[in-house]
Amino acid sequence: MYLRTTKANTRADGPVEYLQLCQNYYDKHTKRSKTEVVYNFGRKDLVDVATIQQLVSNLANYIAKETGEIVPQLFTSGPGAPATFLGSVNLGGTWLLDRLWQRIGIAKALKSVLTDRKYDTPLERLIFSMVANRALDPSSKLHLEHWVANEVYIEDLPAVDSQNLYRAMDFLQEHSDVLQKAIFHSVADLFNLEVDLLFIDTTTTYFEIEGEDADTIETDGQGEESVHLGYRRRSKHGKDNHPELAQVVICFAVTRSGIPVKCWSWPGNTSDKAIVEEIKQDLNLWDLGRTIYVEDTGFNSERNRRILRGAGDHYIIGEKLRLGRYADAHPALSQKGKFKQLDNGLEIKDMLLDTESTTCRRFILIRNPDEAKRDKLKRDDIVAEAERRIGSLRQERQDQHTKRTCELRSHAVFGKYIKQSKTGKLSIDKMKIRKEEQFDGKYLISTSELKLSSEEVVMGYKQLANIERVFRDMKHLIDIRPVYHRKEQRIRSHILLCWLAMLMIRIAEQESQMTWFQMKKIFNKLHLGTLETPQGIVRQTSELTPEMKNLFNTLQIDTPNKVLHVET
């Protein structure tokens, strides 16, 4: 295409020039080249040059976004007038997470809920910004305003407001059940998740509040009342060693590949045994098919085992080796039979107890030889120190002897292996040592599934460590605690945001076979720079390294264009 000027004589103004946009084409019939007028701008002296300039700028923007190339004649400053570098923001982390967010289907699930609602604020973008912040640089909602505006680039979100973030959190909590189900099915279909084995476990976190516990009612300044989630000072033994703070219980359902597919939260004084029914009811609504639930010893009770067996499902659950007030050994320890050694060095013994019961349970006793050696060495050291302390008592005065004798006998570590005669003399309890030897390196599990091999049951239980890693990373990688929210729905929403962050991190790790720490070292080098030229503002990405290209390709993520934004 090209511009053409034509001349014509008019009665009123005499000779005038007309400006036309033309193109040449080949006519097959006449076999000649012909000229076609694509657009007629009118008289040259009446043409609006500013309009043409705006059209050219728009075309330049389109070319820059589609091809990543800057149009030279528009964005070069010319000799002696170089472009001014205004600064840069991080692009790699938010770009990777945003494209993964779209690929997983989280954005689609949120937009489907938003279809019938008219919001002026971009809730989907706001929720993504909070999830990305958790995964990349955990901070408060107030600091997130600065983070979005000055430190990172998030597409279609140049800035955020903390009040809008809180509204987005309320929306997320309001539709959490629908969203979690939609996200699960999207992830399961996309990555072919195996949900025949689900690992269930709980942890706790604390949040900062003032005043008393959950009986306290507060207002949010608009007349709306809210009740604190978590019961303060009622649980004497918090898992976080902060019994003085309000606690909240968090539960995850994790697949065998380590993907957290659902989360729950309860008040801090909720026991593990009381939450199984809600977990089972929620997961039954997802139509998972036949599922085996793997749980730790804390969930083990007759009622919970009966619930887990509902709808044709089964369980693999940890058992206590010490029973009763006096820590008697479990009957499985006294069962006759030889241990079978597995390829990984573990020794197992498979047995059935209560075979006449309608709820027949299959027990598997596992012995770890390496762990047994460590238990023996640790006990030998304790017994040796206990003998030394008993010997030192004979060298003290009688009044001191009585006091020190009582202290040693009631000691939490050494007192277990010490007995006292009728005359008050202390000695090592060799019977207690022999009794403790039967527990060395052993742990016990039970299952309602009789068809699986003992090796499969043991390996399934050992994979329970996957959920422990999720909890550990949630506390130290995305900083779920401490929580400074006051309203119950905000605390629950904060947990959902952390779950979404962990979901994307685990999927990225599984797809790339790299840790999140290793990936951050790669994509943190990708920046978006802002250049000012006489013709306008250009936002251009830094050069992609081979590691970045390989990471994006592995995660099936498109690399960013060279130019992401042009403003004339």
Residue 400: inside a domain:
yes
Residue 537: inside a domain:
no
CB 99 within 8 A of CB 523: no
Domain count, the chain: 2
Q: What is the pLDDT of residues 220-257, one digit of tens each?
A: 444 444 444 444 433 444 555 666 677 889 999 999 88
Residue 152: inside a domain:
no
End residue of a domain, out of 437, 455, 478:
437
Residue 347: inside a domain:
no
What is the arithmetic mean of pLDDT over 178-194? 90
Q: Residue 200: is its pLDDT beyond 50?
A: yes
pLDDT computed for residue 204 by the predictor: 86
> Helix, strand or coil for residue 374?
helix
pLDDT computed for residue 242 by the predictor: 63
DSSP string, 8-74: EEETTTEEEEEEEEEEEEEETTTTEEEEEEEEEEEEGGG--HHHHHHHHHHHHHHHHHHH----TTT
Paired tokens of 89: 């923001």
Cα(496)–Cα(3) distance, integer angstroms: 59
Tell me which of 563 and 369 has the higher pLDDT: 369
Residue 36: inside a domain:
yes
Which helix (H) or strand (E) segment holds residue 232: the answer is none
The confidence band for 115, taking pLDDT boundaries of 50, 70 and 90, is confident
Q: What is the pLDDT of residues 508-530, one digit of tens each?
A: 999 999 999 999 999 999 999 99
Q: Provide the edge-to-edge strand list for the sheet that holds 442-447.
A: 260-267, 246-255, 197-207, 292-295, 314-319, 442-447, 361-367, 347-353, 340-341
End residue of a domain, out of 410, 437, 464:
437
> Helix, strand or coil for residue 219?
strand
Which helix (H) or strand (E) segment holds residue 546: the answer is helix 546-554
Q: What is the pLDDT of residues 72-85, one digit of tens each?
A: 444 444 444 467 88
What is the arithmetic mean of pLDDT over 169-176? 94
Residue 423: inside a domain:
yes
The confidence band for 65, taking pLDDT boundaries of 50, 70 and 90, is low
Residue 457: inside a domain:
no
Residue 12: inside a domain:
yes
Strongest mean pLDDT among 116-125, 371-380, 425-434: 371-380
Which helix (H) or strand (E) segment holds residue 7: the answer is strand 2-10
Q: What is the pLDDT of residues 418-454, one digit of tens each?
A: 998 888 788 999 999 999 999 999 999 999 988 889 9
Q: Which domain holds residue 424?
A: 371-437
pLDDT computed for residue 67 by the predictor: 66
pLDDT computed for residue 216 by the predictor: 39
Q: What is the pLDDT of residues 269-321, one digit of tens each?
A: 887 777 899 999 999 888 888 899 999 998 998 899 999 998 889 999 999 99
What is the arithmetic mean of pLDDT over 485-505? 92
**Helix axes 516-523 and 546-554, enclosed angle (nearest 10):** 130
Cα(229)–Cα(474) distance, integer angstroms: 20
